[in-house]
Amino acid sequence: MRATVTAHKDFTISAIDNRVYGAFLEHLGRAIYTGIYEPDHPTADKNGMRGDVAKLVKDVNIPVVRYPGGNFVSAYDWEDGIGPRDKRPTRLDLAWHTSESNAVGIHEFADWCATVVTEMMLAVNLGSRGVDEARNFLEYVNHPGGSYWSDKRIKNGRKEPWNVKMWCLGNEMDGPWQVGHKDATEYGKLAANTARAMRMFDKSLELIVCGSSNSDMASYPDWERIVLEHTYDHVDHISLHMYFANRDKNTANYLALNHKLETYIETVASTIRQVKSKRKSKRQVYISFDEWNVWYHSNQQDRKILEGNDGWPHAPGLLEDIYNFEDVLMVGLILNSFIRRADVVKIACIAQLVNVIAPIMTEKGGPAWAQTIYYPYYFASVFGRGTALNLIVNSPGYESAHAEKTPYVDVSGVHDEANGALTFFLVNRHATESIDTDVSLQGFATGKIVDHQVMTHSNLEAVNTAKKQTEVAPRKGSGASIANGTLSAKLPPYSYQMIRVKV
């Protein structure tokens, strides 16, 4: 079985915004407590943050982390997380039926971001609160001093402002599960008023308005149209969320889900174009895909807590999906889709980063390790920076629930001109057949293959654990070659590969 790919230097999609490799941390389960923060852990720094987790995060070179939610933010009082820890209140979190100690707030999170070298992307509460909460939070975080809220920040130990540029105007406000759920018109008006107030403080802010929680919502895509008609002149991005599942154990359909993802992106992109045209605007609004991941493995075990049958525990194990090798392929496919839509998807955040549907897992007092999906995320973030190439792909395929033809070979390509490199991310969806793949490198002065990483496993359900941390891990590839301007590689059945070429 064979596939061909054409990569031409002049056939490009867009520069890739590095923030498409962002992440998300919410006050949910063990994402914060015993995730990034565990003062008694042997690796904890002076701020109580786990050093072993920080290293795994830092290695991925994550450009931005969204915080503090998520559903949590829609009933969150940010003021609870400032000032002396022993005076911070414990609150009941209605979103996840748990209790929140507020031991970690904006100061602690900001210090952690500095440690792992990432930027903050903050969300304001437009569920139970509104314009005042947003403008006060913004003043606290970004004003140099000499005002009520900025002076409080200084009193609490931070003299210099953090100058956060990215702000989310609420979270999933289309969802009836959300505290303060609103219809599109109600939310659109509130988001527009909040955006206006925040821009009165700083016109250079990047503001993200809530789009649909998923493409199966009854209000989609009218939600996007209505919200954008209210907010188009005041925001920079509209958020989308999507989670991926294989509950019926149909691998072929599961691995075709990025067709649904790409339809979702294109539908919202066309809605943006429609509203822009209707308003005769010169502004361009982009997509922030600020929640995405595989999520279904933990659904059953979470019910006791989420249905309120376990009281109000603090930082219980929630949404702790244990990812398998099959999920490596799915995450690789999702990232390929984001690269191919670099023209419109400018921010994306894997949800979440530690313990909660996350690429990194921890044991309280024990080790931290990389889940299976850590690796395609790592390769894309570290090596997928540059310009997305508009590849021509010819591959045999199959009929799936999501498309008439799903190609067995899914590939994205990135030209990193600054470092003189071409990088290809390839997934073979075929269960039993290897596929010989030739990539014609046109317009490039090709050199040698400088890195080749392969992920395969005989068991789709293989996982990494604290005791077997590298059961599913990349290995050095072999057999790929370049001759006469063509990169040739064999893609084993059910495999993920990264090939990097010096040009």
Residues forming a β-bridge with 330: none
270: helix, strand or coil: helix
Structure tokens at 238: 């509209």
- What is the spatial distance between Cα 15 and Cα 85, in angstroms, rounded to a whole number? 43
Distance from C-alpha of 498 to C-alpha of 412, rounded to nearest angstrom: 10
Residues whose CB is less than 8 angstroms from the CB of residue 374 and which lie 6 or more positions away in sequence, other chains included: 56, 60, 359, 360
- 191 near 169, Cβ under 8 Å? yes
H helix and E strand count, the chain: 11, 26
Q: Locate 404 and state its tokens.
A: 């008439």
How many other CB atoms sit within 10 Å of the CB of residue 279? 13
**Could you give the angle at the alpha carbon of 56 between the alpha carbons of 503 and 471, nearest 5°?**
85
**3-class state of residue 480 by DSSP:** coil
Residues 156 and 4: their CA atoms lie apart, in Å, by: 60
Q: What are the residues whose beta carbons fall under 8 Å from the beta carbon of 306, sequence distance 6 or more? A: 96, 97, 318
Residue 117's contacts (CB-CB under 8 Å, 6 or more residues apart) are 58, 61
CA nearest to 80, candidates 147, 129, 31, 22: 129
The catalytic position among 206, 291, 320, 326 is 291
How far apart CA 62 and CA 471 sit, in angstroms, is 24
291 is catalytic: yes
224 catalytic residue (yes or no): no
Question: d(Cα 340, Cα 388) in Å, to the nearest integer?
Answer: 6
Out of 38, 79, 108, 172, which one is annotated catalytic?
172
Active-site residue set: 172, 291
